[in-house]
Amino acid sequence: MLPGVDLESGVPELKKGDLCAIMCPGNPAPVAVGETAIASDDVFMAGGKGRLLYALHHYRDCLWGLPEKPSVPNEGFLEDAVAA
């Protein structure tokens, strides 16, 4: 979702369909990976509304829970949130 993207820090050059990772500021591990829904040139024209990414995998989804004892990337990955 574009409302959660920090546009002030800039948006890397992306084409529609590129694979990318989503990260929380201060935490080095990505919380999600997905395919871009729009190109970076269109992000500002969208006015902060709409979808930036089609998520393929995210923290605590059903794929993450497949191992008997799933691992956590670092101490910032909590039960219901990700922090720095």
The rounded percent of the chain whose pLDDT value lies above 90 is 29
The rounded percent of the chain whose pLDDT value lies above 70 is 94
Q: Which residues contact 19 (CB under 8 A, 6 or more apart)?
A: 33, 34, 35, 36
User: At 15, is the pLDDT very low, low, confident or very high (cuts 50, 70, 90)?
Assistant: very high
| Whether domain 1-84 has CATH 3.20.20.100 | no
Residue 51 CA to residue 5 CA, distance in Å, equals 10
User: pLDDT by residue (tens digit) across 30-66?
Assistant: 999 999 999 988 887 887 788 888 999 998 888 877 8
Q: Is the pTM of this model over 0.75?
A: no
Residue 79 CA to residue 51 CA, distance in Å, equals 25
Radius of gyration in angstroms for the set of CA atoms belonging to the chain, rounded to a whole number:
14
Domain boundaries, given as residue ranges, for the chain:
1-84
Residue 1 CA to residue 54 CA, distance in Å, equals 9
